[in-house]
Chains A and B, each alone.
Chain A
Amino acid sequence: MALENGQKPEDKAELAAVTKPTDWTIVVLRVVAFFATVTATVVMASNKETKSLVVAPPISVTLTAKFQHNPANVYFVIANGIASLHNVFMIVVHFFGDKFKDKGLQLVMVAVLDMMIVALVSSGDGAATFMAELGKKGNSHARWNKICDKFEKYCDRGGGAIISSYIGLLFLLVITVLSIIKLLKRN
Chain B
Amino acid sequence: MTQTRRIFTFVLRLLALAATVSATIVMVTSHDSTRVLNLTFKAKFSDSPTFMYFVIVEAIVSGYNLIILLLSSKGSLWRIVIILDVVAALLLTSSMSAALAIGQVAKKGNTHAGWLPICGQVSKFCNHVNGALVAGILAAIFYYVLNLFTLYNALNPLFVVKPS
Q: Is the CB of A130 within 8 A of B50?
A: yes
- Within B78-127, the residues touching A (CB, 8 Å) are 79, 82-83, 86-87, 89-91, 93-98, 100-102, 104-106, 110, 112-116, 118
In the complex, residue of chain A having the shortest beta-carbon distance to the beta carbon of B91? A122
The reply to whether B42 and A141 contact each other, CB–CB distance below 8 Å, is yes
CB A126 to nearest CB in B, in angstroms, measures 3
**How far apart sit A158 and B108, CA to CA, in the bound complex (Å)?**
22
Residues of A within 8 A of B82 (CB): 180, 184
Q: Are A107 and B157 in contact, with the CB atoms below 8 A? A: no
Instruction: Report the bound CA distance from A87 to B73 in whole Å.
Output: 37
A129–B93 Cα distance when bound, in Å, is 13
List the B side residues contacting A2 at CB < 8 Å. Answer: 157-158, 161
CA distance A155 to B152 in the complex (A): 43
For residue A68, give the distance in angstroms from its CB to the closest CB of chain B. Answer: 9
Interface residues on A, range: 35 or more
Within 8 Å CB of A139, what residues of B?
Answer: 47-48
Counting chain B residues whose Cβ lies within 8 A of the other chain, the interface size class is: 35 or more
Which of B43, B87, B91, B113 makes the CB contact (< 8 A) with A147?
B113
Cα A3 to Cα B157 in complex, Å, equals 11
| Per-residue B-contact encoding for A100-112, CB less than 8 Å = 1, 0 else | 0111110110011
Q: List 16 A-B contacts (CB under 8 A).
A: A2-B158, A70-B110, A75-B97, A104-B159, A108-B151, A108-B154, A115-B89, A127-B100, A130-B102, A134-B105, A141-B44, A142-B47, A142-B115, A176-B86, A184-B79, A184-B82
By a beta-carbon cutoff of 8 Å, the part of chain B in contact with chain A is: 42-44, 47-50, 53, 79, 82-83, 86-87, 89-91, 93-98, 100-102, 104-106, 110, 112-116, 118, 140, 144, 147-148, 151-152, 154-155, 157-159, 161-164
A residues neighboring B (CB under 8 Å): 2-5, 12, 65-66, 69-72, 75, 101-105, 107-108, 111-112, 115, 118-119, 122-131, 133-135, 139, 141-145, 147, 169, 173, 176-177, 180-181, 183-184, 186-187
Apart from A112-B151, A131-B101, 16 more pairs, CB < 8 Å: A65-B112, A70-B110, A72-B104, A101-B163, A103-B163, A108-B152, A115-B148, A118-B89, A122-B93, A123-B94, A127-B98, A130-B102, A131-B102, A134-B50, A142-B48, A186-B158
